[in-house]
Every structure is written in structure tokens, then in C-alpha cells.
Amino acid sequence: MSDPHTTPPFSMQPLLENNYVTLIPLKEPDFEQLFAVASDAAIWQMHPNRNRYQQTVFKTFFEGALQSGGAFLCIDKTSGELAGSTRFYNYNPGNNSIFIGYTFYATKFWGTGLNTQVKQLMLDYIFRFVSSVYFHVGAENYRSQKAIEKLGAAKLKEEWIAYHGEPDRLNFVYFIHKTQWPL
């Protein structure tokens, strides 16, 4: 019998849930249902790559999500609907860090607190394994910048990011340390 107080083994793609949201590991068969959410051009207006609402462009994004080994479907527990996607990526055991990002939600979930619930769930989980979490946020994605700052993350720098199969884009790098996170 396992001890309920021991930390489970680290996984980049665990099933995570709280009272508001369930994060389900992304799989290849999820493409059509996730694209149905992502096909709204309004979602991508502030994102670095604004044409991800197009199926061929989204397919490349989706392939990158699968290759990351840390992508999730975000299910809103109140409605039972697929709200969007997010992921863990660039895990670095050497400096005990990981990134969270590539997040998007259907517009009906904007301003509902869903993103805060998703990020809290992810941070509560990942800070059991790493001490530093970083976020890439598009330089023009003001909505996401404000959301990540509300969680307590601080802007560290600006850098050009190479996206999987897409043009490089200017991003801001945000950071939050385990000691700053209320567990």
C-alpha cells in the first residue's frame, strides 16, 4: 500500500484536476475536437502566430504539442466542455526548471477565471518537482502578460523564440520560484 503523503513520480503529462478544471494528456486522436476550438480567429489575435486558426497551421502547432510530451486538453468541469489547451515543456533537470505555455482557450472562457484555475493546478503540481517555472508570453499578448503577472510571475527578459514549424517571434520570459508560490 502506498503512502498518500509521498510524492508520485514526476510526469510531464499527468492527469490533473481540481473543482473547476480537468487537464487530460493530449493525444493524436484529439486533433479534430481541439481544432474545433482553435478555429476561431479571435483566439489568436494577440498570440505571436496569429494564423493558427487555419487548419494547416494548427496541425503544425498540434504536432509540436504532441512532441512536447507535456500538452493537455483543458476541460471546464462546470460545463463539461473542452475549453482549450496548455502544456509543460522544456523541462531542464539540470537547473530544476520547466516552462508552462502555449495556452489558448475558447473566447467564451475568457474572463471566467478558468486560466487562473489551470495555472494554479499546474503550478501546485509542478512545484513538487522543480523550483523554477518560466513562461514565454508573446510580446504583444497583453492579456496573457497581465494574467501571468496576477499569478506572481515577474518579467525577466525578452527573447526570440523558435516555434515548431512556425516563424520565430519575440516573447517575454516570465519567472516564478517555488518559494513565491503559496502551496
Q: Which CATH number does the domain 16-132 belong to among 3.30.1490.100, 1.20.120.1200, 3.40.630.30, 3.30.430.20?
A: 3.40.630.30
| pLDDT at 139 (0 to 100) | 83
**HEC string for the chain:** CCCCCCCCCCCCCCCEECCCEEEEECCHHHHHHHHHHHCCHHHHCCCCCCCCCCHHHHHHHHHHHHHHCCEEEEEECCCCCEEEEEEEEEEECCCCEEEEEEEEECHHHCCCCHHHHHHHHHHHHHCCCCCEEEEEEECCCHHHHHHHHHCCCEEEEEEEECCCCCCCEEEEEEEEEHHHCCC
| Residue 151 to residue 146: CA distance in whole angstroms | 9
| Residue 58 to residue 69: CA distance in whole angstroms | 17
Spell out the per-residue pLDDT of the chain, length 183, in tens.
Answer: 445 556 678 899 999 999 999 999 999 999 999 999 999 999 998 876 778 999 999 999 999 999 999 999 999 999 999 999 999 999 999 999 999 999 999 999 999 999 999 999 999 999 999 999 999 888 888 888 899 999 999 999 988 876 666 667 788 999 999 999 875
